[in-house]
Amino acid sequence: MKLLELLPIGNVDGRLLMELGPAIREAFHMPCEVIPRPLDPEFAFYGERQQYHSSELLERMQYFLSRGSWRILGVTSVDLYIPILTFVFGEAQMGGPCAIVSAHRLSQSFYGLPPDAELEGHRLLKEAVHEIGHTLNLTHCDDYRCVMAPSHAVEWIDLKESTLCPACYGQLFVSGD
Ligand SMILES: [Zn+2]
Ligand SMILES: [Zn+2]
């Protein structure tokens, strides 16, 4: 039985990881485990942007793959970017096996609002399911409620569900993975 593995990248709130595991397991019907050895993200830090290069982290995550890995989801609290965008909530390798999500811009405090741990947990789950969806060859969906809808702001994340719409769900079985 293959595992969906969660890889903490840098210091990650243990509560976020603990809640994410069971929720993801439910979404993909795959057993889920946290990799005990975190990845230090400092090599991917760019001082001029004060952010971490998401694609470089994804590349490094390949070294954590083992025979038992189904997918590896990196979870981090640092702010991620790719050169063409000011930031990303996450990034995935289309078709797998690795994806990464950041909680940095999912917290209410980032926007100067009072903290809301439950909301932050929901947002992280949606982004996690979204990025894992990409590793399963799913592309962006036009249905704004579908978890595969693109999100460029937290308001968009809040509009969507943490589940795949029927069309996207059906795609999973076309891709044969
Ligand atoms: Zn996407
Ligand atoms: Zn969809």
Pairing of strands 98-102, 90-92: antiparallel
User: 57 and 100 in contact (C-beta within 8 Å)?
Assistant: yes
pLDDT digits (tens, 9 = 90+) for 29-65: 999 999 999 999 999 999 999 999 999 999 999 999 9
Cα 151 to ligand 2 centre (Å): 13
Cα 134 to ligand 1 centre (Å): 7
Global pTM reads 0.95
Q: Any idea which ligand is nearest the CA of 168? A: 2
Q: Any idea which ligand is nearest the CA of 169? A: 2
Identify the segments of the chain with pLDDT beneath 70: 175-177
Q: Any idea which ligand is nearest the CA of 94? A: 1
Cα 94 to ligand 1 centre (Å): 10
Is 131 one of the annotated active-site residues of the chain? yes
pLDDT recorded at residue 172: 86
Residue 88: name the closest of 108, 102, 70 by CA: 102
Dist CA 135 CA 100 (whole Å): 10
Catalytic residue selected from 59, 120, 131, 161: 131
Cα 148 to ligand 2 centre (Å): 5
Cα 86 to ligand 1 centre (Å): 15
- Compute CA distances 22 → 97, 121, 140, whole Å: 20, 12, 25
Dist CA 111 CA 37 (whole Å): 31
What is the residue whose two structure tokens read 């293959």? 2
- Residue 7, token pair as written in the block: 């890889």
- Compute CA distances 49 → 86, 89, 144, whole Å: 9, 16, 31
Residue 136: name the closest of 29, 21, 23 by CA: 29
Bond prior to 97 in cis (omega within 30° of 0):
yes
Dist CA 20 CA 42 (whole Å): 24
pLDDT recorded at residue 173: 74
Cα 45 to ligand 2 centre (Å): 33
Half-sphere exposure of 45 (CA within 13 A, CB side): 9
Q: Any idea which ligand is nearest the CA of 129? A: 1
